[in-house]
Amino acid sequence: MAQALKIKALRAWLPIVERSTAEMLGRVHGARFDYRAGAYEMRLAGIAGTATMGREAAKKSWLRAARRRIALAEEACAGHVAAAGNPKVCQRCGVHIDDLRPDDDAGGQS
């Protein structure tokens, strides 16, 4: 269950990080930025992203790392089980069941 909570929190951070500048993430949202050994690093929610091209590039690296962590959690799930508080969310990995449904490219026709 703890893993599902972490993944749920990461999912919540994605749109915030996508919409925010690196400066805002550090000032308002508590992201930590460091510069060491020629690379910028962004840390937030237990995920780190690094880049040599600046804070915005480190932010993009953080987004890729967060998406990888979410994907790995979904792949490692032994079988999706509905959570007690929300039956549309897997209790084990935190994936939303609607995210697993295939896109309907036929416009509703079978």
DSSP E strands, 13-93: 32-36, 39-44, 47-51
Tokens representing residue 75 in the block: 């792949």
Q: What's the pLDDT at 99? A: 66
Q: What's the pLDDT at 103? A: 65
Domain regions of the chain by residue span: 2-78
pLDDT by residue for the chain (110 residues), tens only, comes to: 567 678 888 989 999 999 999 999 999 999 999 999 999 999 999 999 999 999 999 999 999 999 999 888 877 777 777 778 877 777 777 777 666 666 665 555 54
